[in-house]
Amino acid sequence: MVELRAQAAHDERYREQFAEHDRAFQDHLVDVIEEGIETGTFRDVDADRVAEFVGTTVAGAMTRRVTGGDDQAATTARAALDTYVDHILLVDGTEAKA
């Protein structure tokens, strides 16, 4: 995927496909967050902003792991995301399910 993404810098067809994929992933994350807000699991946050943060963090960790063999980056990113979810996103008194 990283090699294909690199092609997007020079090829509009790749760029369009990845933009579509990124939008679909972003939309899915927004849906999950909005559902969590509606059920009272998540705080009343800006779902688009949180989804962008989560998606970007996951993509960055994945890219570092694949391109640099940095398994620690993925582990660190996961731990930081868990902390973010626990302290920023979840309503007090609930616990994140891994």
CATH number of 48's domain: 1.10.357.10
Looking at the structure of the chain, the number of domains it has is 1
Q: What is the share, in percent, of the chain residues with pLDDT greater than 90?
A: 65
Whether 50 is in a domain gets the answer yes
Provide the β-strand partners of residue 90.
42
Structural domain for 77, as ranges:
2-89
Residue closest to 18 by CA, chosen among 32, 6, 27: 6
pTM over 0.85, yes/no: no
Give residue-wise pLDDT tens across range 3-15.
888 899 999 999 9
SS3 letters for 48-96? Answer: HHHHHHHHHHHHHHHHHHHHHCCHHHHHHHHHHHHHHHHHHHECCCCCC
Whether 32 is in a domain gets the answer yes
